[in-house]
Copies of this chain bind each other. A is one copy, B any other.
Amino acid sequence: MSTQSPTIAIVGAGLVGSGWALVFARAGHAVRVFDPSADIRARILPWARESAAELAAAGLIGDAEAVVARIAVFDTLADAVAGAGYIQESVFETVETKTAVCLAIDAAMDPLAIVGSSSSGIPASRFTEGCVNRSRFLIAHPVNPPHLVPVVELVPAPWTDAAVAGEARALMAAVGQVPVSLSREIDGFILNRLQGALLNEAWALYDDGFATLADIDATVSCGLGLRWSFMGPFETIDLNAPGGIADYARRLGGLYYGMAQSRTPRAWPAETIRRADDERRAALPADELAARRAWRDRVLVRLAAFRKAGESAS
């Protein structure tokens, strides 16, 4: 990237791409947004205005209008990408779509720009091989919505320039995200592998009738998740034995290894999924899912404000 505060291009402006636009704009970058759908393009700025106002109301940003004013919507990919120092791709997650869009970005981009893909599971090697500038592409996987959940997984393809991964990490840290750097590709990256390990165990316990779905959820939302919202799993165990993490591993490593050995991988069974769906729909009818998602995002806004306040208090 050629400047200290590069222009950012956003390609694909659904929920993820729109959140990314806000991330970069609130950090002071000029942001150029493209989406192939005219309907989506028309929604970008109204959504950004509403979301920026919510962030301002929570004390997370100062001047909401100044943030939104940095976002410009473009009608063509080439116009949005030309001259951008960093390009975030957030299009529909299939190999075909990502391959086509990356080739279009490749043709229009500054050869020194960096392209991060929001792919949540497909590694970059599966859709960037044919790009002339493929050494400038990597995965930059956020959690939705990226302007409220700061983690970003950076995953290089085998041909990604090592300097590109370092520059992307520096940019993400500079805009207030929390970059996680993987050394190489792996299915699910780190975040979804950790989530998957916990989910697989949760499904097996539910399948075997040890507890209701609501009670299994409560062990996390009223137990494990409290510490994990401000400390990772390693720091958690580091503080949970007198002598730190090595002491904890000596005391309990065998117990956890035993649990893994006694657990055969099992698919999420169709009948158990039906039972889980029944329990969830009794707790939250299908027509209230959207309202609950909006509630979740309001809690995430409050939680972001709580975390920001804690940084100065701790």
Which A residues lie at the B interface, using CB under 8 A?
Answer: 121, 143-144, 149-151, 153, 178-184, 186-188, 190-202, 205-206, 209-235, 237-240, 243-246, 249-250, 253-263, 265-268, 273-274, 276-277, 280-281, 284, 286, 289, 292-293, 295-296, 298-300, 302-303, 306, 310, 313-314
Contacts and interface: CB of A to CB of B under 8 A. Distances in A.
A202 B228 CA distance: 14
A262 to B, nearest CB: 8
A150 B222 contact: yes
A229 B232 contact: no
A253 B225 contact: no
A234 B265 contact: no
A234 B302 contact: no
One complex includes copies of this chain to the number of 2
A234 B149 contact: no
A103 to B, nearest CB: 26
B274 A246 contact: yes
A151 B280 contact: no
B280 A219 contact: no
B195 A197 contact: no
A300 B306 CA distance: 12
A228 B232 contact: no
A216 to B, nearest CB: 6
Given A231-B296, A246-B273, A210 B183 contact: yes
23 contacts: A143-B224, A149-B223, A181-B212, A183-B211, A187-B255, A190-B205, A193-B201, A194-B216, A196-B256, A199-B233, A200-B257, A216-B234, A220-B228, A220-B232, A239-B293, A243-B286, A244-B280, A246-B273, A249-B276, A257-B265, A257-B268, A302-B306, A303-B306
A227 B289 CA distance: 16
Most chain B beta carbons < 10 A, residue from A181, A187, A234, A257: A234
Contacts of A263: 197, 265
B190 A194 contact: no
B277 A245 contact: yes
